[in-house]
Amino acid sequence: MSNNFRDVHTFDGTLGQHFTPTKSFTKEEKKEVIIKFCEKLQHQLAKDMIHLIVNDLNTENNIDRSNNLDSSDVLVEICSKVDGSDIDMSFIEEQIIDIALLGPCPEGRSTRFLQIWQAIKDC
């Protein structure tokens, strides 16, 4: 396997064009939706990563400047899409664990969340 799949910085500057939010969320709305989503997760590492992202809503740590993208915007869209659906949570949880283990930086967050969003947005 190529290490290019592990280095999310390969995609820097190219991802922002692939996401358009369906709604504008305040920080408090994001927090509420994301925490509700987190309650569905099974793996502690995934839960911890989501809690870190929620804590980072008041910092710049969710902002992927190279792609002009706030990863929490993508995450809240994922959370909204999953709510009340039968979308497979194990796939999403695996990607969140990968963020924690392989790329918790803003670019890693946005890249993985965009991968999830692309997979579920039309479900």
Backbone angles phi, psi at 66, to 5 degrees: -70, -25
Q: Which two tokens stand for residue 6?
A: 């592990």
Per-residue pLDDT of the chain (123 residues; tens, 9 = 90+): 344 445 555 666 667 677 889 999 999 999 999 999 999 999 999 999 999 999 999 999 999 999 999 999 999 999 999 998 999 999 999 999 999 999 899 999 999 999 999 999 998
